[in-house]
Structure 1
Amino acid sequence: MTKLPAWPAVVCDVVCVLVFTLVGTASHASGGSAAHVATVGAPFLVGLGVGWLATRAWRAPAQVWPTGVAVWFATVVLGLFLRPLLGGGFAWSFALVTAVFLAATMLGWRLLAALAARRART
């Protein structure tokens, strides 16, 4: 088990969602205004918060399984569900890109933390 205080893990997850939002809005030339970025990112930040609360991720925030996978799943599913309700659209291609990008980043930092902890022990 990788020990890490909760706040850096929260920051890492929020940064993953914000980078996803910023890259997405920039690549689609959607203006990049703060309001637009907030509208696109808000559903996923809500999903992230629910995922953290539902899994009590603060107990083992850097664990890939089950914590990371459950937080990632909640972020993606709730974000995609809330997005149309908050004025955004839905497309299967967007859902796929969302799931892959957030898996790579949200699970990726956890894998790197586990590898760093393993190296520190040896």
Structure 2
Amino acid sequence: MLSSSRLWIPAAGADLLLILVFAAIGRDAHARGEIVSGAFMTAWPFLAGAAVAWFAVRAWRSPLAVWPSGVCIWLGSVLVGMLLRAATGQTVVLPFIIVALISLGVFLVGYRALVALVVRASRKRQRRV
């Protein structure tokens, strides 16, 4: 579904933005100053993980598909992100892993699911007309 390859740029941009939002919310919730630069410091491992996943599943072929693109980008961003955080001495604790899994799942899979619902509803309306 939604396999148009020209959609990869806005999809990749949405992934980038949502990972930055996740990091900024976390920084703000824990009252860690420097929201903007701090968000980039928190986000970079997850952004790297998302990039690895994009290439691993060739997400540009179907960038808005929930499966496999959305799910693999979500899990890849968390898995690689946590490994990079651990490798660079950043905090990796179970509560943070759980929060990252839930938050990034809602963000990265969620917007794709919403797009799929909107497209499906639009197609149904077009068939009725």
TM over 0.5: yes
Point out which structure has higher relative CO (alpha carbons under 8 A, 6+ apart). Answer: 1
SS of 1:30's partner is coil
Cross-structure match for 1:10: 12
Q: Does 1:57 align with 2:59?
A: yes
Aligned pairs, number: 122
User: CA separation in 2, counterparts of 1:32 and 1:110?
Assistant: 30
Q: In the alignment, is the contact (CA less than 8 A) between 1:39 and 1:86 conserved in 2?
A: no
Return structure 1 stretches of 4+ with deviation > 4 angstroms: none
Compared with structure 1, are the counterparts of its residues 33 and 114 closer, same or farther at alpha carbon in structure 2 (3 Å cutoff)? closer
Structure number, greater radius of gyration: 2
User: CA separation in 2, counterparts of 1:84 and 1:13?
Assistant: 22
User: CA separation in 2, counterparts of 1:17 and 1:104?
Assistant: 11
Deviations 1:48-87 (A, max 9, x none): 1101011100000111111111111110000011012233
TM-score, structure 2 as length reference? 0.89
Compared with structure 1, are the counterparts of its residues 34 and 87 closer, same or farther at alpha carbon in structure 2 (3 Å cutoff)? farther
Which residue identity does 1:66 align to in structure 2? P
Cross-structure match for 1:36: 38
Cross-structure match for 1:112: 114
Cross-structure match for 2:81: 79
Displacement after TM superposition at 1:32 (Å):
2.5
List alignment gaps of at least 5 residues for structure 1.
none
User: CA separation in 2, counterparts of 1:88 and 1:33?
Assistant: 17
Cross-structure match for 1:97: 99
List alignment gaps of at least 5 residues for structure 2.
125-129
